[in-house]
A and B are shown apart, each in its own frame.
Chain A
Amino acid sequence: MKRTRLAGAAAGGGAVVLVAALALRAGCDGGGARQPSAPELRAPPAAAPGVDAAAGAPALRSAAAPADEAGATVPAALAERLARAARAVESGDRAAAELELAGLVATRARVLEILAWLRQQPAPPPEPATSGALLALQAGLLLAAQDSAQPGFSSLEFVELVLRELALLDPGLRRRLIALLAGARTAAGPALDARHLRCVLELRRTHPELAEELGPLLEQIGSALGGSARDQDLRRLFLEGEDDPALVKAALASLLASEPQLFLALAEELFALNKDDARLRSAIVQAIVSAAPVDDAAAMLARTGSVQFLTQAHVLGTRPGGLEALAREYDRLLQADGNARGRELLVAGMLAESEPVLRGIARLDPDPQVRVQSLLTLSARGAVEASLIDELRALRASGGPAQGGISTLSSMWVAENVLARSPGAARDAAREYLSELVRDASLPESERWEAWRRVRAWLAPGALRGVTIGTQVLP
């Protein structure tokens, strides 16, 4: 029902047609990509016709594994070779690792053998050969992504081939392979990008049971979708995948950048409809803060009124113009004397704001949690002046949250940040402040223990020896 509603809203009347019209026409092959033949994929593996298993790596012939009469590597020998590659990497033997891996990915036939070998392994798959197989496939992918002559695949073909195997693998092995694909990077960026979107969607369509496992691949592709890659696929992706966080995040960010007015409204509706789906809501907000116009994103962030989206506030704060947008929205809300939780979230994103401004918010905002947030933002981002601890002491002494100050516990969180992030006098002042709290017999025991827990790693042994909290004496 949700899907119908959104589809109708998306195109102002034409979206249902749009969804139908945008159904994938082509398969995962993307046109022109070479499909492995059935014999290539059949086990036991055989070399592709016309391919010399050692071609392309003549210098590495000595490292080649034994082959049967058809030219295919004997599985046991392949396993041993994969294990050698893994051991070489694990032991940091670069020369041996290069020798073994180069032999393993020299040709497409070799890569097909590795895939077939993986498919045949029982659960749990044997180690270290399985690690060696995954390392070899990662090497093959990275080579293909850089248009190397080895192993003789285009990047698209390689990914397609690996994806085709996913559904056949042991679940644990599948997750490792997905992580490998998602994390593979060359100097130019991620190996997986917008070109591979159709392959992943096709697999998701044919194997819906894998939808959740494929999330990392879609997230990776989504992060690589730039302005030029926006096309109708993205619309369809968003409209079809509205209940799948990875799909929504992948598509929505690009759509928001191209058509913010239309898709911001849709995104907010989707957000409001899915109150209990934390992952989807997080994906929606992530897409908005990453791609919507910064002022719209700041306003939407404030409307959520939830520090659950602190990560996203940080993302917005790092975008060009993001800090200014956060500050404008904060000022607007402050003048209206409203939405304290929204203000708290906006201040959380002001990592690049100047120290005087953040200290000003800590003194003047009418809401105690916004005041605390401002101090947390300031102290967690890097070094501060020692005078911040004096201010902390004054805010705590001013009568607590209701009287314009902050609570003792809040002040501890800030002091702990100063200990961790500020050297020199500021750290000394934070250490002394927390030590004072440990010694302060007028405080509840729980707060004194809390102070002790935060400062003890920063004290010289025995610095508070003999101080009594409740019935316990500190060592």
Chain B
Amino acid sequence: MLLASLSLALVAFDSGGGATHCPDVKACLTDARVDRQNSLGNCGFGLSLFGLDLSLGGPECFGTVYTYPAHEICHGHANPGTLCLYEQRLVITAEKCECSRATLLGTGIFLPECECEFAGNVGTLEDFQTANCASLGQPEPGVRPTPPAAGGAR
């Protein structure tokens, strides 16, 4: 699989004259991210003070929570002797959440909490990797292949 990607990349940046040009760029890590949408407010404890109904405490709850996995992207960041290569697709998931009443085990007490459940694989994103140009063919004179930066490539 990786070999196939490397071969394709070789074709992609071969100038056509047979000499391979190394783009000298690397993939950059993008952290995992959680997006929360549609706040439902706090899943609070309902009570009445001075004639007004209030909901106190409890976690803030969002109707939908999206999780984007950590992945690497190509933003053209310089790195001698390497290139940025497509590796795979990773899935973005969504959860649907709502306030519910949870039981404290053995106490008979019910407390509000925000309960989420898997709602689906809602999309995919591209994950790239850093590869040595040397592994794709003969680099141009003066280009010294370097190992991928620590933490910047898998």
List residues of A whose CB falls within 8 A of some B CB: 57, 89-92, 94, 97-98, 101-102, 105, 131, 134-135, 138-139, 142-143, 146, 148-150, 179, 182-187, 190, 223, 275-276, 278, 282, 306-308, 310-311, 314-315, 344, 348, 369, 372-373, 376-377, 379-381, 409-410, 413-414, 416-417, 420-421
Contact = CB atoms under 8 A, between A and B. Distances in A.
A89 B118 contact: no
B32 to A, nearest CB: 11
Given A102-B50, A138-B56, A278-B33, 17 more contacts: A92-B109, A97-B56, A139-B49, A149-B50, A183-B41, A184-B41, A184-B42, A186-B54, A223-B39, A278-B30, A307-B124, A314-B122, A315-B37, A348-B122, A409-B89, A410-B124, A420-B118
Nearest to B30: A278
Contacts of B110: 92
Contacts of B149: none
A376 B121 contact: yes
B25 to A, nearest CB: 14
A63 to B, nearest CB: 12
B120 interface: yes
A101 B49 contact: yes
Contacts of A308: 30, 68, 125
Given A89-B56, A311-B35, A98 B120 contact: no
Nearest to A179: B60
B41 A185 contact: yes
Contact of B49 (A91, A98, A134, A278): A98
A417 B66 contact: no
B73 to A, nearest CB: 9
Closest 9 CB pairs of A and B: A380-B120, A185-B41, A183-B60, A413-B121, A311-B35, A417-B120, A310-B123, A307-B125, A92-B109
B45 A97 contact: yes
Contacts of B15: none
B55 interface: yes
A369 B109 contact: no
A89 B75 CA distance: 51
A381 B109 CA distance: 34
Q: Which of B89, B111, B122 has the most CB of A within 10 A?
A: B122
A414 B124 CA distance: 11
10 contacts: A101-B49, A138-B54, A143-B49, A150-B50, A184-B41, A186-B54, A307-B123, A310-B68, A348-B123, A376-B124
Interface residues of B, number: 41
Interface of chain A: mostly helix, strand, loop or mixed: helix
A135 B42 CA distance: 12
Contacts of A184: 41-42
B27 interface: no
B52 A142 contact: yes
Contacts, number: 129
Contact of A135 (B56, B66, B109): B56
Interface in B8-65: 30, 33, 35, 37, 39, 41-42, 45-50, 52-57, 60, 64
Contacts of B120: 376, 379-381, 416-417, 420-421
Nearest to B119: A380
A184 B91 CA distance: 34
Interface in B72-94: 75, 89, 91-92, 94
Given A90-B111, A146-B52, A276-B75, A380 B42 contact: no
B111 to A, nearest CB: 6
A101 B46 CA distance: 12
Contacts of A421: 119-120
A278 B91 CA distance: 19
A306 B94 CA distance: 17
Interface string B98-132: 00000000010111000000111111111000000
A143 B50 contact: yes
B94 A380 contact: yes
Contact of A376 (B33, B49, B54, B122): B122
Nearest to B121: A413
B66 A311 contact: yes
A47 to B, nearest CB: 19
A316 B107 CA distance: 45
A190 B41 CA distance: 8
B2 to A, nearest CB: 13
B47 A94 contact: yes
A148 B121 contact: no
Q: Which of A278, A380, A420 has the most CB of B within 10 A?
A: A380
Contact of B60 (A142, A182, A186): A182
